[in-house]
């Protein structure tokens, strides 16, 4: 019922989001991934929908139900997420990148299960190559969506977040302290934009998401 009475701040807008972890193969039975639960991204998808937006959610593996009225597409690797996002980006008004995307993928993925007793007898050696930066790429699109990034940091939040916002060329970056949010139900967000630093009050993830959607709606240029 509360959802029904949310102001329709994003009516007529198409919001594209990424959420959850990506997962990169090591061999046929092993992956490299991270501890993103997807809760923040899913809460934002729900809040955007409540605010009247059409919502497309590109998601890594999570245990969460897709919010009602949200169109979702499941992906595994960063490259799959990249391709799915690029296919929808031109049509989106707002892109919110919440996914914890693996920065690197294994270059020498083994076609067979790695054995404990390898040929040399030692630990396996993994080579890495960089994954595409989905957010930075969308931010560079001509006539692309208005972009929001997330930065989960374990230290020096303001310093890293400001640098990240500039590097990715995005109008709004949302920072939080990673060890406080991974898998937690509450969150403390700090907004970084052209005007400076704006800490939001600590809140449950859904309330924080509704507040953030209101902050986004207030900043995104009119159609
Ligand atoms: N992001 C993305 N594609 C990537 C890496 C990150 O879209 N390959 C997005 C994330 O979804 C997030 C933002 O970029 O919105 C910041 O991600 P983060 O990992 O904090 O930044 P990086 O630029 O990867 O820097 P680092 O991991 O070194 O802090
Ligand atoms: Ca990263």
Could you tell me the CA-to-CA distances from 56 to 13, 19, 20, 91, 154 in Å, in that order?
A: 11, 11, 14, 11, 29
Round to whole Å and give the CA distance between 61 and 74.
7
**Residue 180, pLDDT above cutoff 90:** no
> Considering every ligand atom, which ligand is closest to the CA of 59?
1
Annotated binding site: 103, 113, 132-135, 150, 164, 168
Which residue of 58, 81, 131, 133 sits with most ligand 1 atoms within 8 Å of its CB, as the best mutation to test the pocket?
133
Do 102 and 25 touch, CB atoms closer than 8 A?
no
Share of the chain above pLDDT 90, in %: 83
pLDDT for the residue 181: 60
Q: Output the ligand 1 site: residues, CB below 6 A.
A: 18, 78, 97-99, 101, 103, 131, 133-135, 149-151, 164
pLDDT at position 6: 80
Burial 17-52 (b: 16+ CB within 10 A, else e): bbbbbbbbebbeeebbebebbbbbbbbbbbbbbbbb
Distance CA 177, CA 212 (A): 16
Q: pLDDT by residue (tens digit) across 44-101?
A: 999 999 999 999 999 999 999 999 999 999 999 999 999 999 999 999 999 999 999 9
C-alpha pair distances (Å), 114 with each of 109, 118, 158, 200: 10, 7, 41, 46
C-alpha 21: how far from chain center: 8
The yes-or-no verdict on residue 122 having pLDDT over 90 is: no
200 vs 2: which has the higher pLDDT? 200
CB neighbour class for 98 (10 Å; exposed up to 12, middle 13-18, buried from 19): buried
Nearest atom in ligand 1 to 164's CA: 23
Residues whose CB falls within 8 Å of the CB of residue 84, separated by 6 or more in sequence, listed in order: 58, 73, 75
150 CA: nearest ligand 1 atom: 15
* Distance from residue 4's CA to the centre of ligand 2 (Å): 36
CA-to-CA distance for 220 and 223, rounded, in angstroms?
Answer: 9
* Atom number, ligand 1, closest to the C-alpha of residue 168: 23
Annotated active-site residue 34? The verdict is yes
Dist. CA 59–CA 42, nearest whole Å = 9
pLDDT score at 4: 78
Q: What is the pLDDT of residue 85?
A: 98
The model's pTM: 0.95
How much is the average pLDDT of 9-31? 98
């Amino acid at each position: 019922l509360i959802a029904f009475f949310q102001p329709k701040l994003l009516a007529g807008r198409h919001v594209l989001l990424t959420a959850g972890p990506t997962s990169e193969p090591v061999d046929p039975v092993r992956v490299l991934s991270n501890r993103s639960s997807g809760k923040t991204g899913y809460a934002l998808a729900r809040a955007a929908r409540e605010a009247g937006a059409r919502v497309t959610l590109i998601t890594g593996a999570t245990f969460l139900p897709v919010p009602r009225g949200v169109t979702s597409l499941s992906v595994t690797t960063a490259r799959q997420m990249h391709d799915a996002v690029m296919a929808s980006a031109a049509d989106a008004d707002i892109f919110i990148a919440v996914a914890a995307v693996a920065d690197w993928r294994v270059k020498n993925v083994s076609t067979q299960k790695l054995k404990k007793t390898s040929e040399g007898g030692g630990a396996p050696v993994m080579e890495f190559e960089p994954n595409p930066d989905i957010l930075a790429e969308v931010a560079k699109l001509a006539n692309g969506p208005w972009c929001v990034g997330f930065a989960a940091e374990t230290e020096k939040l303001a310093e890293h977040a400001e640098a990240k916002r500039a590097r990715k060329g995005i109008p709004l970056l949302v920072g939080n302290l990673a060890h406080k949010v991974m898998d937690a139900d509450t969150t403390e967000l700090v907004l970084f934009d052209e005007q400076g630093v704006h800490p939001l009050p600590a809140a449950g993830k859904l309330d924080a998401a509704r507040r953030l959607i209101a902050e986004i709606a207030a900043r995104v240029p009119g159609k």
